[in-house]
Amino acid sequence: MLYHRLNDSTGTFSGGSNLRFSSKQPCDAFLFDGRRKILYCLELKTSKSGSFSYESIECKEKQPSKMIHKHQILSLERLGMYERIMSGFLFNFRLENETIEHTYFQSIKNFLIMYKSLNKKSFNEKDLLNYNPINIEGKKKIKNWSWNIEKFLQEVYMTCKV
């Protein structure tokens, strides 16, 4: 298994207001499952508020910034068209006053079905659970979390068509 996290562009730290342009990465991370020969292209998202907002992919004008950007959705959709590539989101719901975190993988195909079905500009964990997310088991150690990645990869392989 190989995991590689891409560096964020410098514009993301200042909100991009002082730049004329900034590069947009295709995703946040790559995970290669050598056993099954599948490359995962992942966009990593965390919410302490319990919901994720997203930009409209149909809108041509500049939109107010949301947690999930139009270019991220479209990039994952393009990457997911290739054979042996699974693209999608890792959604981490982190409740601020609790030691509970729920983390899910949702393929871009299921995200787009959810996007087209929901009649709102954000979704919460309850909404997500209706659109085939895969739970990623985690255990909190003293400070950090440990994730059962092998179980996650096996479940994606068994439930999603790659």
pLDDT over 70, % of the chain:
86
pLDDT computed for residue 99 by the predictor:
65
* pLDDT tier for residue 31 given thresholds of 50, 70 and 90: very high
CATH T-level assignment (fold) for domain 24-159: Trna Endonuclease; Chain: A, domain 1 (3.40.1350)
Model confidence pLDDT, tens digit, residues 59-111 = 888 888 899 999 999 999 999 999 999 999 999 998 776 666 899 999 999 99
Write the DSSP assignment of the chain as a string of letters.
-EEEEPPPPGGGTTTTTT-S-----S-SEEEEETTTTEEEEEEEEEESSSEEEB--SS--S-----SB-HHHHHHHHHHTTSTTEEEEEEEEEE-TTSS-EEEEEEEHHHHHHHHHH--SSEEEHHHHHTS--EE--EEE-SSSEEE-HHHHHHHHHHHS--
Give the per-residue pLDDT at 158: 87
Closest CA to 159 of 138, 117, 131: 131
Domain boundaries of the chain, sorted by first residue: 24-159
List, for residues 143-154, the tens digit of each pLDDT value: 777 888 999 999
> Which carries the bigger pLDDT value, residue 141 or residue 94?
94
Report d(CA 28, CA 83) in Å as an integer: 20
Reply yes or no on whether the pLDDT at 161 is more than 80. Answer: no
